Structure 1
Amino acid sequence: MPSSSVFITSKSTVIPNQKSAIKSLKLSISDLPMLSCHYIQKGVLLTRPPSIPIESLIHLLKLSLSTTLTHFPALAGRLDTDSYGHVHIICSDAGVDFVHAKAKHFFINDLLSPNDVPSVFKQFFTMDNTLSYAGHKNPLAAVQVTELGDGIFIGCTVNHAVTDGTSFWNFFNTFAEITKGVKKISKSPDFCRDTLFNSPAVLKFPVGGPTATFSTDQPLRERIFHFSREAILKMKYRANRKLEISETQWDKNGKTDEISSFQSLCAQLWRSVTRARGLQPIKLTTFRMAVNCRHRLTPSLNALYFGNAIQSIPTVAEAGDLLSLDLQWTADLLHRNVVAHDDSTVRRGISDWESNPRLFPLGNPDGSSITMGSSPRFPMYDNDFGWGRPVAVRSGKANKFDGKISAFPGREGGGSVDLEVVLSPETMARLEEDMEYMQYVC
């Protein structure tokens, strides 16, 4: 790989091209726990536009971002804590950071050919190691555009207490839409705060704000594992084979006994990482995944509700059971937990948090957990800025620790999935030797 230096050419502030009609948005009890998490960092790798000079492209992106912020005024604001301890987004039109950088000694093939994700991707984002609580003083979003030898990387950094993945990608997709020349955006965000997540509960912070709940100094390896639609269907077949005895049963709420493709993939990952870690049979291991609550509530939230509307589902098992029993057992364990997370479960989670307000404990303190983030359902490749779809989606260094997994859709679509897997070097090496897992990797 060439030298990892990325050179910052310019840094500026982009403000909305119209003043916000929204003055303040209170953080919900789904937003507040994220104040100890890093800002979200996700971006797209694109080929270089064929007929527009870079200076013109940078100007166009700034204008488009300004227009996009008019539709997403919360991102141009700052956080503020009132005298009662409630945290608000003040839609002050203060603006977001825009960084233009160069790394023209890198080419697309350089970045995509190695097994491990090159560390230079982390330099394609700004605001590294910034906790979301810092949004009281810092911008709530930033965009970095990095020139490559034959491409462009557009990296977006957004405060995690302001957006979850659903809201993040709606913003990113809208930014691309407007850059491409769309006059009327296709998905207007919903800033309603009259929801079940709006609460009088107060989350107390130490003086100076929270600290990260995990170490950022661990030696880690990061790799993208690609799974084709066919490979995932094979896992799904294995996970559901006991259901073939009779027709899949549906209950009165439309829930099915069939284990999904993604649950099957998660089950295989959980088994194989547990084996790679060499855990003792009686060691409890946890697979934690974030779920979108918008459609789980009755009545449901607007699908374009802007903010966090997520809860974490932990599934726990002994390592010995994961490895001695079959894939169907593990997948069924995950499946039943996800299916059970309905309206009443969401409401119990809200009530539990209100009785004991707390930050989200991101990390892997016992060395036996997996945390699944993002989603293969997010429209990550629906980002045509005017010269074609992304070549790849990548993330920065934010919120990464041993056992952090992010799920992306595969570029070819059709149910393919990319898993961004972050593990200790020793565990990653053993996972790469696990044939039960690697037989499905393309």
Structure 2
Amino acid sequence: MPSPSSSPLTVLSKCTLYPNQKSTLSDLKLSISDLAMLSCHYIQKGCLFPLPSLPFHSLLPHLKSSLSRTLSHFPPLAGRLTTDSHGYVYITCNDAGVDFLHACAPGYCIRDLLSPPDVPDPFKRFFTFDKKVSYTGHFSPLLAVQVTELADGVFIGCAMNHAIADGTSFWNFFNTFAEVCREATKISNVPDFRRDSILISKAVLKFPEGGPEVTFNPYEPLRERIFSFSREAIQKLKATVNSQKLRTDEELNAIEWIGKQSNDNYHNNKGKVEEISSFQSLCALLWRGVTRARKLHPSKTTVFKMAVNCRMRLAPKLNPYYFGNAIQSIPTYATAEDVLCRGLRWCAEELNKNVKAHDDAKVRHLVEEWESNPRCFPLGNPDGTAVTMGSSPRFPMYDNDFGWGRPVAVRSGGANKFDGKISAFPGREGGGSVDLEVLLAPETMEGLESDLEFMAYASSSWCN
């Protein structure tokens, strides 16, 4: 059988699909979280499934019909972006349609795609709209679905304009698509299209002629791996982090020069140790591993950026299924010396402190700050010190049964990838397991792979 890197992929058909009911939804004004994403690539996420029992000549019409019905629940996806005379950007729900592609790649097997240490390039070919910037949604579809036949499976990949949806909205659509395909009588999670929150602003974001471009080099050489963390490994990591109530003598000696020899930072105001969450423990582990692998100067400032869902942080809260972007970035800064010498607990506490502080007041402060200087979101890692955590292990990525079983894996395309970009997925086995999609410079990845602390908890082989 040909290697995955050389096997052909052929697009057999492409068509435009429309909602099966006409939209009655008015134009939706982009929020400040939406506008900031106009310089980002389309979201590219998809699921790898075992081969359906239904032959493709019967399956494809069913998928098309199901997508058409799903679009009636999500009218913005079949629309286009428009900018009015005042510079405000809207989604016009005009039923202009979405792209649907059927591709065939008989040289690819599930095991061959999932067993290599690095994520193979073919996954990037299972999506259309490669490196497409969201601003182009003014004249291009806002959604494209590609269904790719494999030798023993099928991949369903969705490319969705990032200026109209974040991960929460993306996966609600994907879940609903699967639900409709299973002939559900009604959908479980009805999207909320209201535009009445603090995120809807009178500020105008101005663009250069031709529209914005991504703020990073999308062609830099990178390695990409999926590191898996079992439920047991996560529990062990969390227990380790939360047992580090006191610094060791070695850690005290390492930071003695800055005169920080007390244990006060490890306790809250009542003298009790603050428990650190599993995910914050995992983020701290990653921050340390990547910082160590980069071999940064001890005085170099590093930053760990976490994307957070603001729906539940605002007062009043947004609907959990508010459709659009409702995310902000939480940066945590520390020198390489502190990240590496102060231990897992300290790093996790720094992350925890900033996440807890990101309340309604903080969200509103960042809204006001953006309104004073409207700008697109600056993705990237220009000085080589950043780690950017996106997606979420809470997203229901494996709750996608189109009628022939749950996915065997979740993968992304080539969109929005740069050195230090990390995406968190739930592990397939559930129970709190987590997969991290890690993008790093080749030499940094090599260092992370040999990092004893990091690899004590991680595994990276699906076929074991």
* TM, length-normalised to structure 2: 0.92
Distance (Å, rounded) in 2 between the aligned partners of 1:392 and 1:250:
40
In the alignment, which residue of structure 1 is the partner of 2:50? 47
Residue deviations 1:113-132, cap 9 Å, x none? 11100100000000001000
Q: Shift of residue 5 of structure 1?
A: 2.1
Give the paired residue count.
Answer: 437
Q: Is residue 13 from structure 1 mapped to residue 30 from structure 2 by the alignment? A: no
Q: Is residue 260 from structure 1 mapped to residue 288 from structure 2 by the alignment? A: no
In the alignment, which residue of structure 2 is the partner of 1:85? 87
Structure label with greater radius of gyration: 2
In the alignment, which residue of structure 2 is the partner of 1:237? 239
Correspondent of 1:322 among 339, 348, 359: 339
Q: Is residue 125 from structure 1 mapped to residue 135 from structure 2 by the alignment? A: no
In the alignment, which residue of structure 2 is the partner of 1:440? 457
Aligned 8 A contact 1:133 1:209 in 2: yes
In the alignment, which residue of structure 1 is the partner of 2:303? 286
In the alignment, which residue of structure 2 is the partner of 1:37? 40
In the alignment, which residue of structure 1 is the partner of 2:255? none
Q: Shift of residue 243 of structure 1?
A: 5.1
Q: Give the SS at the match of 2:423.
A: strand
Correspondent of 1:273 among 275, 282, 290: 290
Give ranges in structure 1 of 5+ residues lacking alignment: none
Amino acid at match of 1:11: K
Q: Is residue 228 from structure 1 mapped to residue 245 from structure 2 by the alignment? A: no
In the alignment, which residue of structure 1 is the partner of 2:404? 387
Give percent identity, aligned residues only. Answer: 66
Aligned 8 A contact 2:390 2:421 in 1: yes
Distance (Å, rounded) in 2 between the aligned partners of 1:4 and 1:86:
45
Correspondent of 1:69 among 68, 71, 87: 71
Residue deviations 1:247-303, cap 9 Å, x none? x99999xxx932110000000000010000010001111100100000001111000
Aligned 8 A contact 1:235 1:264 in 2: yes
Correspondent of 1:195 among 190, 194, 197: 197
User: 1:342-421, aligned counterparts within 5 Å?
Assistant: 342-421=359-438
Greater mean alpha carbon deviation, residues 256-265 or residues 279-288: 256-265
User: 1:176-195, aligned counterparts within 5 Å?
Assistant: 176-195=178-197
Distance (Å, rounded) in 1 between the aligned partners of 2:149 and 2:124:
14
Distance (Å, rounded) in 1 between the aligned partners of 2:267 and 2:384:
37
Q: Give the SS at the match of 2:375.
A: coil
Q: Give the SS at the match of 2:422.
A: strand
In the alignment, which residue of structure 2 is the partner of 1:59? 61
Distance (Å, rounded) in 2 between the aligned partners of 1:379 and 1:317:
32
Aligned 8 A contact 1:164 1:307 in 2: yes
Please, what is the CA RMSD of the aligned residues? 1.7
Correspondent of 1:113 among 105, 112, 115: 115
Aligned 8 A contact 1:23 1:92 in 2: no
In the alignment, which residue of structure 2 is the partner of 1:144? 146
Q: Give the SS at the match of 2:49.
A: strand
Aligned 8 A contact 2:8 2:107 in 1: no
Give ranges in structure 2 of 5+ residues lacking alignment: 247-262, 460-464
